[in-house]
Structure 1
Amino acid sequence: MDTGTHIVMGVALAGLSTLDPVVNNDPVLFNAILVGTIVGSHAPDFDTVLKLRNNATYIRHHRGVTHSVPAVIFWGVLIASLIHLFFPQVNFWHLYGWTALAVIIHVFVDIFNAYGTQAYRPFTDKWIAHGFINTFDPYIFTLHLAGIVAWILGANPGTTWILIYTVILLYYIKRYMDKREIVKTIKEYFPDTIAVATSPTIKQNYWRVAVTTENRFYVGTVENGHIEIVDEFQKIALPDSSVIDIAKTDKNVSAFLSFSPVYRWEINEFDDYTEVRFIDLRYRSKTFYPFVAVVQINMDNEIISSYTGWIFSEHKLQNKLYVGDSPI
């Protein structure tokens, strides 16, 4: 989820904590928990600072180790311990319990969007992305804002948040059923379907899909239950060549390949260099595929430039290749 939603979820958890009699009867403990749930709800995304280094590092590690099982335990202990230094009189285990719950819920809700997380590390590095809740969902965010306003106006926080989270749970079930119906329809139309990547949008009735079959990739949209295929590509395995081998050693390409499950590739020959391009098919925007990895290799088999990330025009991509991330 986005930062704003994680923060309001932290506030909501603090409201739910008032159902705990120990918390409800101790204002100081409640204040400590409020800090803990807000910080804990955002903590796994502290890895956003990796963007300051380069896109490759960010893509490879964002929602990776910071969302793993050990990290979930670490964040809860660290945040609760730091807060306890300022509130030594409060019950540590109640503080830790609600703070840890905020971290767990952060990681849990992230697995439902198209980006996903590596939440099962260290048991597996597989990305878990169920793809039926948008990264920013206006309904979920608005329900949280409504709950906060109701709380400010005097509503009982425990009752308010139980009601709101019951509605949100039903909403998740509804979105899951929407996705299941989309996948079912696609598999009926393409019997040799291997995988379907779904990307919900802010619009409730509009989805993006990327379909992998035995021999082709299909990219399409789903609006009001109607599926429209807008692009298709032949599924071709990467060739066994020195150019591809060199490209795979590049940090930007390596990061892209570690993250993207549905992509096509192309090799373009120029006078002075060869360009290898990898294109993620999940994020089509109008007629453009903005998430790419590109590497340029000169005639001496040296990487002269590379880039990975989100880019929305060929002109900007070429600028990035020359003034953006440096090659290895």
Structure 2
Amino acid sequence: MDSITQAALGASIAGAVAGKTLGRSVLLTGALLGTLPDLDVVIDYGSAVANFTQHRGFSHSLFILIPLSFLIAWGLWRWKPQLSYQRWLALVGLILVTHPLLDAFTTYGTQLFWPLGDPVALNSIFIIDPLYTLPLLAGCLVFLIRPPATNAVATGLVLSTLYLGWTLVAQQWITDRVQPALAEVGMNEASLLVQPMPFNTILWRVTAITDEHRVEIVTGFLDGSDELNLEHFPRRPDLAQSVASLPEARRLEWFTRGFLDYRLAGNQITATDIRLGIPGAHPFTFILAETSESGVTPIPSGRMPRPSVNRDALPLLWSRLTGRTPVLCLATLSTPPQGHSC
């Protein structure tokens, strides 16, 4: 999740655990601890793919954060012994552990068990979701105005946690809704990704892929009974095969669970993480190799510039979310003429 949300979550937990003893200052301590795991973004791992796939790695591992909690709690106890070591340990441990657990609900991927296992990505909440964050911020604001409002921060935590549970229920409902439509076009065995569109859990994006084909669906809870609109995109298994032996291509395949789009840009082979963003506005595209008459030559991976922000995107997303626009074409981020599909 975004840094503001993680800071608000950390501050809320700190206020609930130690607000009566430490007062307003504990919110700042909690906020700082809540953003601590994300400091790995300052580390340069040597290439664009490495920086992308090793973020949320060791610094988000439960094998690292749980032992670290004991050490940090000891230091804070020596600094402010009016709070017992056990309470400091509960405060620090809860904050450090809930940070990666919350990140695991997003699509990016969180290596909870680094250096073992695959990234965990439940895909049920967008990286910025006001309905999750606002209860936490509201609880912290009440605490600042009328300390020690531990009930307020606790209420914020309960509401945000219930909302997180709702995201999983909504995701399953959308999954059940699209399965028949995917089966009709022969995609019932395809790898499936179901995730919310930006900033909400009412409108969802469904991505189904096979080796040679990809289908995208946008649907939500405010849609009527109209048939689902399926958008079809070709894939390039030939390009995927040409770089399959490259370590960085394998790393990307592992990290994204195969949700990649390979393209030829001039003489360069690129790979785009199609989980993040939307078609035409995916933020992570990497150059992996160059082609020539002699074959494919690997090069140190570089990241392509992030696509420019489409100013029409938010009004279109809002119109689609509310159901006023029944169809949104992801390839062009536009609405087709009435009665037409993408």
Is the CA contact (8 Å cut-off) linking 1:65 and 1:118 kept in structure 2? Answer: yes
Work out which of the residue numbers 270, 274, 288 in structure 2 matches 1:295: 288
CA 1:305–1:168: 2 relative to 1, 3 Å: closer
- Determine if the alignment matches structure 1 residue 147 to structure 2 residue 139: yes
TM-score (norm 2): 0.74
Aligned-pair CA distance for 1:63 = 0.7
Structure 1 length-normalised TM: 0.77
Q: Would you say the 8 A contact 2:62–2:97 is kept in 1?
A: no
Q: Distance in 1 between matches of 2:146 and 2:24?
A: 17
Cα offsets for 1:60-118 (capped at 9, x unmatched): 21111211121111431342233334335642222122111100111111111111201
Task: Give runs of ≥4 in structure 1 deviating > 4 Å.
Answer: 30-36, 51-54, 237-241, 298-305
Q: Is the CA contact 1:10–1:39 (under 8 Å) kept in the aligned structure 2?
A: yes
| Contact 2:277–2:283, Cα closer than 8 Å, also in 1 | yes
Alignment of 1:236-247 (within 5 A): 236=237, 241=242, 245=245
More helix by share: 1
SS at match of 2:40: helix
Does the residue aligned with 1:222 lie in a helix, a strand or coil?
strand
Number of positions where the alignment pairs a residue of Structure 1 with one of Structure 2: 296
Letter matched to residue 259 of structure 1: F
3-state SS of the aligned residue for 1:107? helix
Q: What aligned pairs does 1:227-238 form with structure 2 within 5 A after superposition?
A: 227-234=228-235, 236=237
Label 1:154 to 1:87 Cα distance change in 2 as closer, same or farther (>3 A).
closer
Partner of residue 257, structure 1: 253
Say whether residues 1:95 and 2:88 are aligned partners.
yes
Q: What secondary structure is seen at the aligned counterpart in 2 of 1:112?
A: coil
Asked if 1:312 corresponds to 2:307, the answer is yes
Question: How far apart in 2 are the matches of 1:151 and 1:32?
Answer: 11
The answer on whether the counterparts of 2:288 and 2:302 sit within 8 Å (CA) in structure 1 is yes
- With over 3 angstroms needed to count, the CA separation of the structure-2 counterparts of 1:98 and 1:312, relative to structure 1, is same
Residue identity matched to 2:102: V
Aligned to 1:186: 178
Q: Percent of aligned pairs with the same residue?
A: 19
Distance 1:107 1:51 in 2: 21
Aligned position for 2:164: 172
Sort the Cα spacing of 1:264 and 1:37 in 2 relative to 1 into closer, same or farther, 3 A.
Answer: same
Within the alignment, does 1:197 sit opposite 2:198 as a pair? Answer: no
Tell me: CA distance 1:165–1:298, structure 2 relative to 1, closer, same or farther (3 Å): closer
CA–CA distance in 2 between the matches of 1:213 and 1:255? Answer: 19
Match of 1:322 in 2: none
- Determine the C-alpha separation between the residues in 2 that align with 1:309 and 1:67: 26
Q: Which AA in structure 2 matches 1:236?
A: P
Deviation for aligned residue 1:282: 1.9
* 1:59 shift after superposition: 0.8
Cα RMSD of the aligned pairs, angstroms, is 3.1
The one-letter amino acid of 1:6's match is Q
Contact 2:125 2:201 survives alignment (8 Å): no
Q: Is the 8 A contact 1:55 1:309 kept in 2?
A: no
Counterpart CA distance in 2 for 1:58 and 1:68 is: 16
Q: Does structure 1 residue 209 correspond to structure 2 residue 206?
A: yes
Answer with 111-120 or 32-41: which moved more.
Answer: 32-41
Corresponding residue to 2:127 among 131, 135, 152: 135
Q: Which residue of 2 aligns with 1:111?
A: 104
Which residue identity is paired with 2:109?
G
Say if 1:255 and 1:14 are closer, same or farther in 2 by CA, change over 3 A: same
Superposition deviation, residue 53 in structure 1: 5.8
In structure 1, how many angstroms separate the alpha carbons of the residues matched to 2:13 and 2:232? 43
Separation in 1, partners of 2:156, 2:273: 36
Distance 2:40 2:137 in 1: 26
Uncovered stretches (5+) of structure 2, i.e. residues with no partner? 309-342
Amino acid in structure 2 at the alignment position of 1:147:
G
Determine if contact 2:7/2:35 at 8 Å carries over to the other structure: yes
CA distance in 2, matches of 1:164, 1:278: 40
Aligned residue for 1:44, secondary structure, equals helix
| Letter paired with 2:171 | K
The amino acid across from 2:263 in the alignment is: E
The letter of the residue matching 1:135 is I
Instruction: Supply the distance in 2 between the matched residues of 1:276 and 1:122 (Cα, whole angstroms).
Output: 29
Structure 1 residues 83 and 302, CA, compared in 2 at 3 Å: closer, same or farther?
same
CA distance in 1, matches of 2:111, 2:154: 29
For 2:141 and 2:277, the matched residues in 1 are separated by 37
Distance 1:109 1:198, change over 3 A: same
